[in-house]
Amino acid sequence: MDIDKLARRNVRELEPYSCARDEYQGDTGIFLDANENSLGSVLTPGLNRYPDPLQKKLKAKISDVKNIAPENIFLGNGSDEVIDLLIRAFCEPREDRILIMPPTYGMYAVTAGVNAVPVVRAPLTFNYQIDTDAVLKKSAGVKLIFICSPNNPTGNCLNDTDIERILINFDGLVVLDEAYIDFAPERSWAKRLARYPNLVIMQTFSKAWGLANIRLGMGFADRRIIELLNRIKYPYNVNGVTQQLALKGLSRESLKDKMVAQILAERRKLAARLEQLSIVEKVYPSEANFLLVKFENARTIFNYLIDKQIIVRDRSRVVLCDNCLRITVGASNENDELLQQLMTYQGAQ
């Protein structure tokens, strides 16, 4: 597969902007190259300096934790930036398409729309798995196929055999969004990255790591793909405060694992108790930190919960999600309160 041929022509031919910090790699010296404030900062010392544009220290640490070489890692302002850069690097506006499998994460289609890139839809099957025949049949003119596993909002993982069939038979990039993979780590494709040059894996610090606020997303792929993304990103796309906090966070992987275990235990408990309610028609199996729940009348229940200041995600108007709410697994007391309110609602029917 010729990754360079896949990229947009203008991106291939682009001369990347060389920022001041690209030219000298050392930590010490007299830095008079970037028009920073040499006296210091109005806040913490160090904030006067531009951050490392390629986040080398952070990538080295992520490389250790994930067992992926630094040259195969891209870091962005959330996975959302990775999605945007992939579309901009590979899709000629109004010409090349992306393919998505609804019901899925909304940002793929939104970002394609912003970039004037048409979206082809091959919905999941009734049991929320990939319709591989439909995907391959509709893939003419498609540069990127987005697969989300575990999928948002359905919560399930997509079958490995289907993902592999697409990887082998599709001649564009397959973007596998593993935002929720820390809740089902044995399902990650990261260990198979070297085998598929057209595979891009996205992960994030926003879910299991509990760092949604610092905006840090990861892309893992063949180095030629990483180079293309580096070429078109903003020079300082990941700020220094985020880089520092992520480094610190990565040294606390065991705390992340402990929270994941706790969330999984809460999820099982919450699912079992929801299933006992008569207003609940179905709790879908989940491998993530949320549950997709089918109610008799989702919209009414959504509004009732809002009134009680319990906010869940209404997915009832999404394809294949009739009358469904997506409920994030909360802390134990929050789940108790949710169940209490649902029982009160049920009692009044």
Ligand X SMILES: *Cc1c(COP(=O)(O)O)cnc(C)c1O
What residues make contact with ligand X under the rule CB under 6 A?
A: 78-80, 105, 148, 152, 177, 179, 204, 206-207, 212, 217
| Three-class DSSP category at 292 | strand
Q: How far is the CB of 216 from ligand X (least distance, A)?
A: 7
Using the minimum distance from each CB to ligand X, give the nearer residue, 53 or 76.
Answer: 76
Q: How far is the CB of 249 from ligand X (least distance, A)?
A: 14
β-pairing, 313-314 with 290-295? unpaired
Structure-block tokens of residue 255: 């705390």
Burial 33-54 (b: 16+ CB within 10 A, else e): eeeeeeeeeeeeeeebbbbbbb
Contact call for residues 238 and 230 (beta carbons, < 8 A): no
Which DSSP category does 50 fall into?
Answer: P
Per-residue CA distances from 11 to 69, 197, 333 (Å)? 24, 19, 51
Q: How far is the CB of 212 from ligand X (least distance, A)?
A: 6
Using the minimum distance from each CB to ligand X, give the nearer residue, 198 or 206.
Answer: 206
Q: How far is the CB of 90 from ligand X (least distance, A)?
A: 18
Using the minimum distance from each CB to ligand X, give the nearer residue, 218 or 342.
Answer: 218
C-alpha span between 270 and 123 (Å, rounded): 28
Using the minimum distance from each CB to ligand X, give the nearer residue, 320 or 339.
Answer: 320
**Do you find a cis peptide bond into 53, omega within 30 degrees of 0?**
no
Structure-block tokens of residue 23: 């030219």
Q: How far is the CB of 190 from ligand X (least distance, A)?
A: 15
Burial 69-98 (b: 16+ CB within 10 A, else e): ebebbbbbbbbbbbbbbbbbbbbbeeebbb
Using the minimum distance from each CB to ligand X, give the nearer residue, 41 or 213.
Answer: 213
Q: How far is the CB of 286 from ligand X (least distance, A)?
A: 13
Using the minimum distance from each CB to ligand X, give the nearer residue, 199 or 342.
Answer: 199
Name residues whose C-beta falls within 8 Å of residue 147's C-beta, 6 or more positions apart in sequence: 101, 130, 158, 163, 166, 174, 175, 176, 177
Structure-block tokens of residue 318: 């999404």
Q: How far is the CB of 82 from ligand X (least distance, A)?
A: 8
Q: How far is the CB of 108 from ligand X (least distance, A)?
A: 9
Using the minimum distance from each CB to ligand X, give the nearer residue, 53 or 217.
Answer: 217
Using the minimum distance from each CB to ligand X, give the nearer residue, 59 or 207.
Answer: 207
Radius of gyration, CA atoms only, the chain:
22
C-alpha span between 286 and 284 (Å, rounded): 6
